[in-house]
Amino acid sequence: MDELISRIMAASGLDESLAKKAIGIILAFLQKEGPAAEIGQLMGALPGAQDLANAEGGAKGGLMGAIGGMMGGGGGVMALGGQLMGAGLSMGQIQTVSKEMFAVGREKAGEDTMGAIVGAIPGLGQFV
């Protein structure tokens, strides 16, 4: 997890606290929206991932959360973007964090695992 945090900080310019928050928000989203088997493989390949996901798992809400609720469900990738923007990330930082997270995911959990995750969540491919 330290490697992932460092890489995200270097690529995006985020401080450690915000990098951890962004990672946790994304991991919590993936756990909610992604295929269970592949998410389990990803979480297992990233020690400490579950702790960050748990810390941010209840962090939905705000306007995007309300819109997502009206749309039926969590609101998908739009709600994720809203959460990350609400945490203080710009759209450019969101894309950088997402790309770096999925690059590390491919290295640690494998291309097939990450491909299945991206394929299972509508709209996710545009961020990774």
Name the residue ranges covered by the structural domains of the chain.
2-123
Q: Closest Cα partner for 25 from 114, 86, 75, 70?
A: 86
For residue 128, the model assigns a pLDDT of 85
* The model scores a pTM over 0.75: yes
pLDDT tens for 43-78 read: 999 999 999 999 987 544 444 444 444 444 557 899
Separation in Å, CA 75 to CA 1, 53, 72, 80: 27, 18, 7, 8
Is residue 41 over pLDDT 90?
yes
- Give the residue carrying structure tokens 């705000």: 62
For residue 38, the model assigns a pLDDT of 96
Distance CA 126, CA 107 (A): 20
Q: Strand runs (DSSP E) across 1-128, as ranges?
A: none
Q: Does domain 2-123 have CATH number 3.40.50.300?
A: no
For residue 88, the model assigns a pLDDT of 96
